[in-house]
Amino acid sequence: MTTDPAGSRRVAITGLGVVAPAGIGAQNYWSGLLGPGATSGRSLSIEDWDPTPYFDNPKHARRADRVEQFSLAAAAEAFEQAGGFDAIGVDPGRFGTIFATGVGGLHTLEEQIQIRLEKGERRVSPFLVPMMMTNAAGAAISMRYGLQGPNETITTACAAGSHAINYAARLIKWGLVDAVATGGSESAGTTTGLAGFANMTALSTSGVSQPFGADRDGFVMGEGSSVLILEEWSRAEARGANILGEVLGGASNADAHHITAPSPGGVGAIACMRLALAEAGIEPQDVLQVNAHGTSTPLNDAAEADAIAEVFGPNAVPVVSTKGVTGHALGAAGALEAAALVLSIQHELIPPTANTTEADDGMKIDLVVGEPRPWTPGPAISNNFGFGGHNGSVLIAPAS
213 and 315 within one domain: no
β 349-350/366-367 pair status:
unpaired
pTM: 0.96
Total domains, the chain: 2
One digit per residue, pLDDT tens: the chain, 400 residues?
Answer: 556 655 689 999 999 999 999 999 999 999 999 988 766 688 999 999 999 999 999 999 999 999 999 999 999 999 999 999 999 999 999 999 999 999 999 999 999 999 999 999 999 999 999 999 999 999 999 999 999 999 999 999 999 999 999 999 999 999 999 999 999 999 999 999 999 999 999 999 999 999 999 999 999 999 999 999 999 999 999 999 999 999 999 999 999 999 999 999 999 999 999 999 999 999 999 999 999 999 999 999 999 999 999 999 999 999 999 999 999 999 999 999 999 999 999 999 999 999 999 999 999 999 999 999 999 999 999 999 999 999 999 999 999 8
231 and 94 within one domain: yes
275 and 218 within one domain: no
- Range of the structural domain that residue 84 is part of: 11-245
Dist. CA 377–CA 286, nearest whole Å: 11
220, 245, 270 - which closes a domain: 245
Q: Is 328 a catalytic residue?
A: yes
79 and 17 within one domain: yes
Dist. CA 40–CA 189, nearest whole Å: 12
143 and 212 within one domain: yes
Could you give the angle at the alpha carbon of 85 between the alpha carbons of 91 and 6, nearest 5°? 50
Does residue 133 lie in a domain region?
A: yes
Q: Is 390 a catalytic residue?
A: no
239 and 208 within one domain: yes
Dihedral over alpha carbons 117, 221, 294, 135 (to 10 degrees): 50
Please, what is the angle between helix 66-82 and helix 136-145, to 10°? 40
290 and 158 within one domain: no
179 and 123 within one domain: yes
Q: Which of 158, 163, 272, 390 is catalytic?
A: 158
CATH number at residue 16: 3.40.47.10
DSSP class of residue 378 equals -
Does residue 142 lie in a domain region?
A: yes
How far is CA 281 from each of CA 20, 234, 276, 287, 288, rounded to the nearest angstrom? 33, 20, 9, 11, 15
Q: Is 272 a catalytic residue?
A: no
Q: Which of 107, 163, 293, 390 is catalytic?
A: 293
Does residue 102 lie in a domain region?
A: yes
Instruction: Determine the 3-state secondary structure of 364 from DSSP.
Output: coil
245, 275, 298 - which closes a domain: 245
**122 Rama sector, left if φ>0, alpha if ψ -120 to 50, beta otherwise:** alpha
